[in-house]
């Protein structure tokens, strides 16, 4: 009960801060949003605690992980092509089970981040931060000295018979 009261009291403040923050942000049009977001890995944190990481692909499909409300299990989610798409001059989503098609404001907040908010509901937003697409699994200080020779088992057997 107390938690609900605190959340309800914080919503107007969050809406005010979201509005104030958008003054310094650069609102992206559909093409700029596509260039900034598509194919890149982003971690996200939403106003009500939901968090995760994922990417939007060029066909509008989405894949990633999400933890709703910030607690409970982390789930792997895959949404089909055309889930995220252009509708006129807006970035919108079509998700089965949602009775409307939400559209979004995409505001770049710095060179690696953006805020996505539901159009008309500035308090309903998620902050996204770009993550390294290809983590380095290992590194060497010497570099490769010569190419490695790769032979199949069949080639080795043929060499033994000659």
Within its chain, how far is the Cα of 116 from the centroid?
A: 10
Measured between alpha carbons, how far is 154 from 15 in angstroms, rounded to an integer? Answer: 67
Cβ 75 vs Cβ 66: under 8 Å: yes
Stretch 98-118: mean pLDDT, rounded?
Answer: 93
Measured between alpha carbons, how far is 77 from 44 in angstroms, rounded to an integer? Answer: 14
Residue 103, pLDDT > 90, answer: yes
Stretch 96-121: mean pLDDT, rounded?
Answer: 92
Cβ 93 vs Cβ 101: under 8 Å: yes
Residue 147, pLDDT > 60, answer: no
Query: Which residues are CB-contacts of 102 (< 8 A; sequence separation ≥ 6)?
Result: 92, 93, 118, 119
Measured between alpha carbons, how far is 53 from 137 in angstroms, rounded to an integer? Answer: 19
Identify the weakest region by mean pLDDT among 15-24, 115-124, 149-158.
15-24
State the virtual CA torsion across 86, 91, 95, 99 in degrees, nearest 10. -100
pLDDT of residue 133: 65
**Which comes out higher in pLDDT, residue 8 or 65?**
65
Residue 60, pLDDT > 80, answer: yes
Residue 107, pLDDT > 90, answer: yes
Element (H, E) at 33: helix 30-37
Element (H, E) at 125: strand 121-130
Cα atoms in the Cβ-side hemisphere of radius 13 Å centred on 6: 4
Query: Which residues are CB-contacts of 73 (< 8 A; sequence separation ≥ 6)?
Result: 67
Residue 11, pLDDT > 70, answer: no
122 pLDDT band (50/70/90 cuts)?
confident
- For the chain, the distance separating the N- and C-terminal CA atoms, rounded to the nearest angstrom, is 82
CA proximity to 115, closest of 2, 37, 13 = 37
């Amino acid at each position: 009960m107390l938690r609900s009261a605190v959340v309800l009291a914080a919503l107007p403040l969050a809406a005010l801060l979201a509005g104030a923050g958008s003054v310094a942000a650069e609102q992206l049009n559909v093409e700029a949003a596509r260039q900034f977001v598509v194919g890149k890995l982003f971690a996200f944190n939403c106003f009500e605690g939901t968090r995760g990481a994922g990417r939007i692909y060029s066909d509008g499909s989405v894949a990633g992980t999400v933890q709703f409300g910030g607690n409970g299990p982390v789930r792997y989610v895959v949404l089909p092509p055309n889930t995220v798409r252009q509708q006129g001059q807006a970035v919108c989503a079509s998700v089965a089970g949602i009775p409307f098609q939400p559209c979004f404001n995409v505001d770049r907040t710095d060179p690696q981040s953006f805020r996505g908010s539901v159009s008309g509901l500035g308090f309903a937003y998620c902050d996204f931060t770009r993550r390294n697409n290809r983590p380095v699994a290992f590194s060497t200080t010497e570099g490769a000295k010569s190419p490695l020779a790769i032979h199949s088992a069949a080639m080795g057997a043929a060499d033994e018979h000659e």
